[in-house]
Amino acid sequence: MTGVASDDWPERQRILASSGMLVIGRKSQEIIQDLEDIQPLIEAARSSGVKILDHRTVNELLSMSTRTTIEPLVSDFPKTEQASLPSPDSHSPIGRTVAPSKSLDLAPPPRPHGLEHYSLADFPMEATDVDSEIEIHFDITGNSVTEGKMSDMRACFTDRLQTIRSMMVSSNTLPRRPVPASEAWRNRQRHSSRDYEVTMVGLATEMRWAKSKNLMFVVEDETAQIRCILKPPSDASEVHPALDGLMDDDVVGVSGYFLVGEGDPIFFVQDIHLPPLGFHSKNTSGEDRAVSAAFLSDTHVGSMTFLGPQWDKMIEWFNNDPLARTIKYFVLSGDGVDGVGIYPGQDRHLSIKDLFNQYSELARLLERLPDWVDVIILPGNHDAVRPAEPQPALDPEVQQDYSDATFVGNPCDFSLHGVRILSYHGKSIDDFVATLRSVSYSRPERAMQAMLERRHLAPSWGGKTPLSPEPEDNLVISNVPDIFVTGHVHGHFVGNYKGTTMVHSSTWQNQTDFQRMLGFQPKPCILTVVNLHTYATASVPFA
């Protein structure tokens, strides 16, 4: 359209809008108002594919529309509609790059479930090139001596306290040498100000949150119990005990002074100390033994929700994929079968109702793995062993169906070619989720971090995790592992925490009715592979 008066802005705006163009800014409006004819502007905008008209774009379009001639392109191809480009001597930003000026490095497409990419170069050796080398450091099998007496319980907690307190003292992480609780109480009048603080180490019990949002708890050692109050520091992180909480029977150090008044004295904690956990320097298997270990848990064979077709897919992968040829060890961290009588009404959810037939089927499934793979099997809370932890290995009567597998207890501290691995089924994650504010079933690695920080796998007596009171507390993490593995929750995680590679092994069971009721979505059928020399990890999905 031509001949519209320059002062008739609403009409010009309507014409531009009907052409699919939007004017931005007063400056561009003024330029358009001053035009005798807006049709050349509209045509230039259409030919360039421009929809937004700011003042700079308007000026560029007008410079294009005033050109009287354009050198034609010589081509044998039929003429098609093509966006016009400004001349080379124009500094116009309008136009399109026909081809990149240099080659681009394309990012690989995302992997299923958002899993990280991996490189085969980080998995340098085939499993057939080395012999097996498994060294067991701790396994309760055949070594349980408890009679379940009160004296056994007392011995267990005393051993835990002494072992972890020794770690804290020898690491020089405490501000001063700790004194017995009875001595601190006896000298409470002296230690009643910041100028005369005292440090104690004991078991934390009776944790609760006060209305003031302070943390109240009791510290107990061999000599006495002291009531404590901990105020959250202003710069505290979410995992600070003052905000996150404490597990019952955690071993902690407390530094502070007594508030002595009309009521019973209470210990005001200025600082709380967890056991030492510095950055761990990993052992490696060496270049000549650079094979890999694969980790899985909670296959729940015998359940109607066991994912059989995905297992077939994994076996095919083991026999054809180059990464699979680097896997020397296959660690199954508990709940290999669904069990019988584990919870009320379980029978309705079983495809194999006989316990021994479940283990026979698991043996058949594991038998399909290639000959170069050595299987290591731990029990879990669904297996046919005592529920109290630490748990012994599966009964020899069950083991006889397995032609080539290493059976160990739960937890088990062992080494593969010098790489120290702590494998724990993970039942105590239920207690960590119930107690610590930062831990959830969707983030099981938070529970694993808390275990490492506390140097204990299952500190709480009387919680969701049955414990066996051995005279020596075998659930203390005396040696920081190179690889720390759990299962139980049916999630998946692989990552590093203070130098330790953490693996939360995936399940091979689909969502159960109970999980559906809770709104929990498992992450099944993900095999986690860790190279024992490079510590490269690969998560391989089969669902």
**Helix (H), strand (E) counts: the chain:** 13, 19
Residue at 105 is within a domain: no
Q: Is 116 contained in some domain?
A: no
CA distance linking residue 137 with residue 423, whole number of Å? 12
Residues 248 and 346 in one domain: no
pLDDT at 76 over 80: no
Same domain, 479 and 425: yes
Residues 131 and 238 in one domain: no
Query: C-alpha angle 300/410/513, rounded to 5°?
Result: 30
- Using the predicted structure, report yes or no on whether residue 52 has a pLDDT greater than 80: no
Please give the helix or strand (H or E) that residue 47 lies within, else none.
helix 39-48
Whole-model pTM over 0.85: no
Residue 363 lies in a domain: yes
Same domain for 298 and 367? yes
pLDDT at 376: 98
Q: Which residue among 228, 252, 273 closes a domain?
A: 273
Q: Which of 21, 49, 64 is the last residue of a domain?
A: 64
Q: Where do the H-state alpha helices sit in 276-345?
A: 308-320
Counting Cβ atoms within 10 Å, is residue 264 exposed (0-12), middle (13-18) or buried (19+)? exposed
Phi, psi of 334 (to 5 degrees): 100, 160
CATH number at residue 458: 3.60.21.50
Domain identity same for 197 and 297? no
Distance CA 231, CA 86 (A): 68
Token pair of 8 as six digits? 């008739």
Q: pLDDT per residue over 168-206, tens digit each? A: 999 999 999 999 999 999 999 999 999 999 999 999 999
| Owning domain of residue 224 | 178-273
285 and 141 together in one domain: yes
**112 within a domain of the structure (yes/no):** no
456-466 per-position pLDDT tens digit: 999 999 999 99
Q: Is the pLDDT of residue 214 over 50?
A: yes
* Whether residue 345 sits in one domain with residue 221: no
- The CATH number assigned to the domain holding 225 equals 2.40.50.140
264 with 231, same domain: the answer is yes
Check whether residue 406 and residue 526 sit in a common domain: yes
User: Residues 294-321: pLDDT tens digits?
Assistant: 999 999 999 999 999 999 999 999 999 9
The answer to whether position 254 is within a domain reads yes
Total domains in the chain come to: 3
82 in any annotated domain: no
Query: Do 21 and 138 belong together in one domain?
Result: no
pLDDT, averaged across the chain: 90
Span 496-509, average pLDDT: 98
Residue 92 lies in a domain: no
Domain identity same for 357 and 443: yes
The listed range with the strongest mean pLDDT (9-13, 41-45, 508-512) is 508-512
Q: Is 401 among the domain residues?
A: yes
Q: What is the pLDDT of residues 382-441, one digit of tens each?
A: 999 999 999 999 999 999 999 889 999 999 999 999 999 999 999 999 999 999 999 999
Q: What pLDDT, on the 0 to 100 scale, is given for residue 502?
A: 98
Percent residues over pLDDT 90 in the chain: 73
Residues 509 and 384 in one domain: yes
pLDDT at 97: 53
Closest CA to 317 of 363, 366, 370: 370
Task: Give the pLDDT of residue 352.
Answer: 97
106, pLDDT greater than 70: no
Give Cα 28 distance to the centre of its chain: 53
